[in-house]
Amino acid sequence: MKTLKYSRQRESIKKCLMGRHDHPTADGVYASIREEFPNISLGTVYRNLNLLVELGEIQKLSCGDGKDRFDGVTTPHYHFLCRQCGAVTDLPLKPMPEAERYAEEATGARVDSHVIYMYGICPGCLKE
Ligand code: ZN
Ligand code: MN
């Protein structure tokens, strides 16, 4: 019964992430998930998020601002962080696997993944 409840919570956490594209922190997921599971703790949300990351069902983003964010989209894509409002959005750029080949040629290493974070001011903040 206990495991069933936990997997229901985990499913719900995953569904929450699939339904939003703002790359929430654990706190943000916690706030949404509490509507459905009022007694859930932040620790449980955190554990489930990290388990989903380990299972490869979601991904964790560390954009360099000290906050872990979570993304329900696991296919390769790049991100933009607004320095003003802190919003993290998907960059509509095609993945660049050739960058890994260049790095391999330059270093002799075997490269199997890469991430790109771009930083600046988002259109909404530019308008203000
Ligand atoms: Zn902004
Ligand atoms: Mn994303």
H/E stretch holding 62:
strand 59-62
Residue 128 confidence (pLDDT): 87
Residue 4 confidence (pLDDT): 61
- Phi and psi (nearest 5°) for 22? -100, 5
Q: Tens-of-pLDDT digits for all 128 residues of the chain?
A: 456 666 889 999 999 999 999 999 999 999 999 998 999 999 999 999 999 999 999 999 999 888 999 999 999 999 999 999 999 999 999 999 999 999 999 999 999 999 999 999 999 999 98
Instruction: Report the alpha-carbon distance of residue 75 to residue 9 in Å, rounded.
Output: 24
Q: Which residue has the tokens 């929450």?
A: 16
Residue 2 confidence (pLDDT): 56
Residue 64 confidence (pLDDT): 87
Cα dist. 45→12, 19, 24, 38, 71 in Å? 10, 17, 12, 12, 14
**Distance between Cα 22 and ligand 2 center (Å):** 8
- Report which bound ligand comes closest to the CA of 21: 2
Residue 1 confidence (pLDDT): 47
**Distance between Cα 40 and ligand 2 center (Å):** 26
pTM: 0.87
**Distance between Cα 29 and ligand 2 center (Å):** 15
Q: Which of 75, 116, 77, 87 is nearest to 25 (CA)?
A: 87
